[in-house]
Structure 1
């Protein structure tokens, strides 16, 4: 690699790293508690648990479950209802003044007794704050897209760092830390070593995080294309005056998709349905298929199926990327691995910022002897400076 090429890659690495580092540190710090969000909920006493009953206790009629939630908020509409894959004893219902209300209320209802268990609150809680800082910086779609751009810069920084790492390590053993060369060189070697160790994880998490920031745009495109096609026959019809039975709609959806389970239900007028339909989203029971949804559209008046089809490839790619980003598909050991790699990445980002700041301070100091200048006050990025100094 020629010196000019090295300098070009070094410039790319320096500025892509500098621009995204602070935000990547924020994402790593806020992502750490989100890895253990279930455990933290239990620790803080925010977890909702259904009463212990026999495993074969029959489920309550869904229309009764909905009625229990509406009794709590009689003037609100049901927007969504959902169940966790490993917690089929509770229905979570989202209720608002209109189908797209962002100031919604949540109600947890026992799926067997149709009794209201709690009104879970997410906004304003510790995990709620961590979630918003991690996902959208409290800035909605624009915040997501901004963080997506930071993720793109992280990917560029990782790739350029790998390109620079090869010539830098030609005369060093893998993982060697030169403690005798002073604190700055030691920090540089630790930065490089952990950067390579966490390379694949950081690249996967950065890339999948960037993809996740496009979720709102991908869903809007799906609504304007496939959802519009699925609901086209209802385009000019009057809005339903009365909603049909949810239990009948659910029975029809489950019968049409044997072996699948209900993930969530979107009520008429919400983002995942039409003004004329229930959108019942099914998923499989296996590790991979549990992440992939299949929408079944139900006529909201007759409770009969009108269309069902697999999601397009771009939404499938989005759904597959999410477990890779969150590390929530392999149990406690996978969570621990993701947490350790997250902490290592925090060190890589923090040490990179330290090295840049330290170099800036040293650059203002009186010139030292020529032999030290290449290492101590070089204006080139750390990778290039150290590589050439060797």
Structure 2
């Protein structure tokens, strides 16, 4: 995000922030502004990013026969509208300092999400996250037996392979809770993405079956539909809305609603279909979200929304680097495993006594607890960001202190 913001032209970076309630007051203004400038376009969907002060309009050529379905669709073109200045910005052609950096960051995003292979790539990455989660958890289970005579933080220097494995175990435990939660949330994101697509399909089918064919949105405008939905769902926010389309939603508005809170899960919304009969009486139909989808969506926060500050981003970058070292150390240790680990001429780092489970697990448990706090606390606002940063700092200090103390012995 910092690279993206640094690459943006300064005049495009700062706009007045809105909340989810007030930003929708400008929905029709934004649509009119876009259609006045691009009379050959038609608006298919509207979504909002109020914290950034913008509304995103998915548009399509007026006479195009290509179906552009739902706000999460990759089809169509998006135009950003900024209510504070009435400015328009093609969302896929931002004014940037370097097109190369912008394209590079986009490609990295696509690789991270889909490996460039769409849904198949996302499923593959989810499977790899599952394998990684199993690897981390199983590594924690076998950690104890390997540490019967070697205290946490003590690196066995008797052979090259033992040294690599020592670092692998030490740094692996230091990052275990973070890596496990990150991998688990990655799996849940894939489950959410696949399940949410299924939910959208079933909700549309049920709406078509349960709503009268005469209930359409042909005779109501977007502001009236927004006002109606706000009255019916006063405790919810509107994330986005699909415009009426005969083929896609039987000429009804499709609203994506989420419970009102400080930081809504912007990727998910409960579908609400809105139309009116010939007399202008407004009606709606909705399908409840499955419980498992709400649980899976909560994992998004652990993966995306708990490192918003620069300090936390630096901490996560350090954790990424340490994890890479853990992987390299594991490979290097196995590569050198043929070395004689019982070389009596080498200095022994082993403790004379067999350690108890309490001695083996005391420090790791403290680090696990601080790591979980560092993952969860930032989800609770500015104070949580500071507390989370403090928890991560304490975990790092504890690891360094233990390693330094054992090195001196």
Instruction: Tell me how far apart the structure 1 counterparts of residues 259 and 91 of structure 2 sit (CA, whole Å).
Output: 27
Q: Tell whether the 8 Å contact from 2:34 to 2:88 is kept in structure 1 after alignment.
A: no
Quote the residue 1:90 is aligned against: 54
Q: Tell whether the 8 Å contact from 2:236 to 2:259 is kept in structure 1 after alignment.
A: yes
Q: When the two structures are superposed, what TM-score results if normalisation uses the length of structure 1?
A: 0.70
RMSD: 3.7
Change (3 A) 1:131 1:46: farther
- The yes-or-no answer on 1:99 pairing with 2:68 is yes
Quote the residue 1:296 is aligned against: 272
Instruction: Tell me how far apart the structure 1 counterparts of residues 190 and 246 of structure 2 sit (CA, whole Å).
Output: 20
Aligned length: 324
Aligned-residue offset at 1:287: 4.3
Deviation string, structure 1 residues 134-182 (Cα, Å, up to 9, x no partner): 111111111111111111111221122122211001111112112x324
- The yes-or-no answer on 1:143 pairing with 2:106 is no
Which residue among 103, 107, 110 is the counterpart of 1:129? 107
Q: Tell whether the 8 Å contact from 1:69 to 1:116 is kept in structure 2 after alignment.
A: no
Quote the residue 1:278 is aligned against: 253
Change (3 A) 1:50 1:43: closer
Instruction: Tell me how far apart the structure 1 counterparts of residues 83 and 77 of structure 2 sit (CA, whole Å).
Output: 18
Instruction: Tell me how far apart the structure 1 counterparts of residues 17 and 144 of structure 2 sit (CA, whole Å).
Output: 60
Aligned-residue offset at 1:346: 2.1
Aligned-residue offset at 1:265: 1.7
Deviation string, structure 1 residues 14-36 (Cα, Å, up to 9, x no partner): xxxxxxxxxxxxxxxxxxxxxxx
Instruction: Tell me how far apart the structure 1 counterparts of residues 55 and 154 of structure 2 sit (CA, whole Å).
Output: 54
Instruction: Tell me how far apart the structure 2 counterparts of residues 165 and 313 of structure 1 sit (CA, whole Å).
Output: 35
Q: Tell whether the 8 Å contact from 1:80 to 1:267 is kept in structure 2 after alignment.
A: yes
Q: Tell whether the 8 Å contact from 1:281 to 1:294 is kept in structure 2 after alignment.
A: yes
Deviates more, 1:128-137 or 1:256-265: 256-265
Which residue among 221, 236, 246 is the counterpart of 1:245? 221
Deviates more, 1:277-286 or 1:331-340: 331-340
Instruction: Tell me how far apart the structure 1 counterparts of residues 190 and 23 of structure 2 sit (CA, whole Å).
Output: 40
Quote the residue 2:144 is aligned against: 166
Q: Match of 2:257, SS?
A: strand
Instruction: Tell me how far apart the structure 2 counterparts of residues 181 and 325 of structure 1 sit (CA, whole Å).
Output: 39
Q: Match of 2:92, SS?
A: coil
Aligned-residue offset at 1:119: 0.9
Quote the residue 1:41 is aligned against: 4
Q: Tell whether the 8 Å contact from 1:327 to 1:338 is kept in structure 2 after alignment.
A: no
Quote the residue 1:261 is aligned against: 237
Change (3 A) 1:50 1:239: farther
Q: When the two structures are superposed, what TM-score results if normalisation uses the length of structure 2?
A: 0.67
Instruction: Tell me how far apart the structure 2 counterparts of residues 46 and 278 of structure 1 sit (CA, whole Å).
Output: 36
Paired residues for 1:1-390 under 5 Å:
37=1, 39-45=2-8, 48-49=12-13, 61-87=26-52, 89-96=53-60, 97=64, 98-100=67-69, 102-112=74-84, 115-121=86-92, 125-178=103-156, 180-234=157-211, 237=213, 242=218, 244-268=220-244, 274-287=249-262, 293-299=269-275, 304-308=282-286, 310-328=288-306, 331-359=309-337, 363=338, 371-372=342-343
Gaps of at least 5 residues in structure 2 are 95-101, 347-409
Deviation string, structure 1 residues 232-286 (Cα, Å, up to 9, x no partner): 2348x48969473111111111222224332222234599x73432222233443
Q: Match of 1:198, SS?
A: helix
Change (3 A) 1:83 1:315: same
Change (3 A) 1:370 1:241: closer
